[in-house]
Structure 1
Amino acid sequence: MADMIAPDPVTRDILAIFEEVRYQLFGRLEGLTDAEYHWEPVGDCIGIRPGDDGLFRVATLFPESSPDAPDPVTTIAWRIWHIGNLCLRGYVIYLFDDAPDYGDRDVWPGTAKEGIQALAEDWEHFISRIAALGDKRLLAPIGMGPGGWADETYLKLALHALKEATHHGGEIGLLRDLYLREGV
């Protein structure tokens, strides 16, 4: 990613911000253990778990909120999955013509090392597509995609991806801080 230089100013700036967020997020993920990856700080935590076939899958795609109860707590594994698979990979699949074959999208790595690697790959796939657009295409309507995205711009999509990465990345950092202090 650091080698990508975009001549168009909007593309250049959005890629620079993505690089800063990537640096911070992956810095916080250094040394992540499998125990931290799956740590459930509360009893009704949502994570990824092995199925009868031994493959790990997310337990709940979209945790439900309620005005009568706090939002569900999710594991670091769930948050890494959410950024990588649900957001970045999903955006590539549904909003770009040249999506790779990801196989079974419901399956996610069960180890911290493999989960971080999958996130890095999903990040790179998404960023490479944003970089290739250039400002003119970045600022034009996408023209395809689910849920009203066809009328939105790729810039809005990139900004939404940044929002998801920073929001969930911050919570990953907090979960790591809490895990390290558990029982202290």
Structure 2
Amino acid sequence: MTDPITEDLVRTFDEVVDRLVARSAGLGVEEYLWEPVEGCMTVRPVAGAFRADPLGPDDPDPAPFTTIAWRMWHIGADCLRGYLRFFEGEAPDPDPLAWPGTPDAGVQALTADWARLRTRFTGLGDAGLMRPMGDLGGHFGAETYLKLGLHALDETAHHGAEIGVIRDLYRQNFGETPASTKT
């Protein structure tokens, strides 16, 4: 084991993502976009594509409740894909609010986003994880790549758990998702 910190970070992250993917099995479109309270943030059709409702400076604190789709977007595009900006040679996401409007495509996008970030963390190794992000990190430049990885892991684990709770609430209210709405 030449890079035990990297291996532990990536292995733990893999387990969290695998748990979220397994917890998302059988997720139907209605459940994915279910707004359990008024004023939810979600992923909505806009001009022929789906886009996440953006958080803005005028949003209330705490932020509005969010749907499973929005939470998947937040984990995948906002965090995992978004954090690629802290690595050399990564182009900015041309449409960071774009996200699939179906659960299967959302899970595929999230796992693809993790695969890309996983490659970056693995490529750093332990020495690179302990290095500050520097200019690429902007006002986080003094923070290490390990701290970025742990933050991404925390975001994925806690929002993944919230997705599980929303699924439990949906089932309590509506029962199992009908097979005709699964995608």
The two structures have a TM-score, normalised by structure 2, of 0.88
- 2:30 corresponds in structure 1 to 35
Shift of 1:100: 5.6
Q: Deviations over 1:26-56 (max 9, x none)?
A: 11111111111100001111101011x1211
Aligned residue runs from structure 1 range 92-107, under 5 A: 92=84, 94-99=85-90, 102-107=93-98
Runs of 4+ aligned structure 1 residues displaced above 6 Å come to none
**What is the distance in 1 between the residues matched to 2:154 and 2:71?**
13
- Gap runs ≥5 in structure 1: 1-5
Shift of 1:183: 4.7
- Gap runs ≥5 in structure 2: 176-183
- 2:141 corresponds in structure 1 to 150
**What is the distance in 2 between the residues matched to 1:167 and 1:65?**
21
Residues 81 and 117 in structure 2, CA contact (< 8 A), matched pair in contact too? yes
1:58 paired with 2:58, answer no
- Backbone CA RMSD of aligned residues: 1.9
TM-aligned CA distance change 1:160 to 1:101, over 3 Å: closer
Deviates more, 1:104-113 or 1:57-66: 57-66
1:16 paired with 2:7, answer no
Deviates more, 1:77-86 or 1:24-33: 24-33
Partner SS state of residue 82, structure 1 = helix
Higher relative contact order (CA 8 A, sep 6+): 2
The two structures have a TM-score, normalised by structure 1, of 0.87
* Residue in structure 1 matching 2:78, options 73, 79, 86: 86
1:74 paired with 2:74, answer no
Residues 69 and 106 in structure 2, CA contact (< 8 A), matched pair in contact too? yes
- 1:125 corresponds in structure 2 to 116
Shift of 1:144: 2.6
